Amino acid sequence: MSMWWFIVTTLAISAFICKSPAYAYDNNPLQDICVAVNDSHASVFVNGKICKDPKLATPNDFYFAGLNVSGNEVSGLGFALKTVYVNDMPGLNTLGISIGRLDLEPQRLAPLHTHPRATELITVLEGTLCVGFLVPDPANFFKSRLFSKILNPGDVFVFPIGLIHFLYNVGHKKAVAFGTFNSQNPGFVIIPNSIFASNPPISDDILAQGFQLNKTQIAELQKKFS
């Protein structure tokens, strides 16, 4: 009898934990860092945005104009971005969705990067893109597998959350693509710049060993990406 009671109790507790969102998982982060502070008098910084009083909401909170034209060009890299994240459209708060437009010049690259908080669905409107993402090899973490495709207008491709990916214009005219994200603030980490243009800089010894280069080569890379 006692064994039967133990089994039933264990199953009941397990079912409660699995069904309770408070115990099952943490919410996905909506910003890069959110350091806990044990001070009831400190200013409030939330993981996302504080909600407006619903009575004060207006249609403009749920509206954005201008995705029909390109955004601001990223100096020297041959592409322009225009994003519609929660800071651009307040009504996106808590909805877990956002969108962006990429304009990429011929033979130019949207560099290796990640979106740490979102899967990205790319839809090509104009031009021809070579796109791809890298998946770590579970059998050898020193290697990865490349998933890559050539996309034409009307084609769709998905980059899984957090994985390194790229977009390269292989055509002879400007390419335009929309990226849809399952986050109001997906994040954008450009891999080369994050490594070689950090502030303060990563030690030359660490970079030289990490990339199997000498310090002169590391200095040249830091200069290019600074």
For residue 80, give its domain range: 56-225
pTM comes to 0.83
Q: Would residue 60 count as lying in a domain?
A: yes
Query: Which of 184, 192, 177, 179 lies closest to 222 in space, CA to CA?
Result: 192
pLDDT tier for residue 16 given thresholds of 50, 70 and 90: very low
Give the C-alpha separation, 67 to 63, whole Å. Answer: 12
Q: Would residue 19 count as lying in a domain?
A: no
Whether the pLDDT of residue 161 is over 90: the answer is: yes
Q: Higher model confidence: residue 45 or residue 150?
A: 150
Percent of the chain at pLDDT > 70 equals 87
- Could you list the beta-strand ranges (E) of the chain: 72-74, 79-84, 98-104, 109-114, 120-126, 129-137, 140-151, 156-159, 165-169, 175-181, 189-190
Give the C-alpha separation, 215 to 149, whole Å. Answer: 36
| Mean pLDDT score, 144-159 | 98
Residue 196 is part of a domain; what is its CATH number?
Answer: 2.60.120.10
Structure tokens at 169: 């214009």
What's the total number of domains in the chain? Answer: 1
pLDDT one-digit tens code per residue, 197-206: 999 999 999 9
pLDDT one-digit tens code per residue, 99-111: 999 999 999 999 9
Q: Would residue 62 count as lying in a domain?
A: yes
Q: Would residue 24 count as lying in a domain?
A: no
Q: Would residue 102 count as lying in a domain?
A: yes
Q: Would residue 43 count as lying in a domain?
A: no
Q: Would residue 219 count as lying in a domain?
A: yes
Amino acid at 129: L
- Residue 23's pLDDT is 45
pLDDT tier for residue 9 given thresholds of 50, 70 and 90: low
pLDDT one-digit tens code per residue, 51-107: 888 888 999 999 999 999 999 898 888 999 999 999 999 999 989 999 999 999 999
Q: Would residue 216 count as lying in a domain?
A: yes
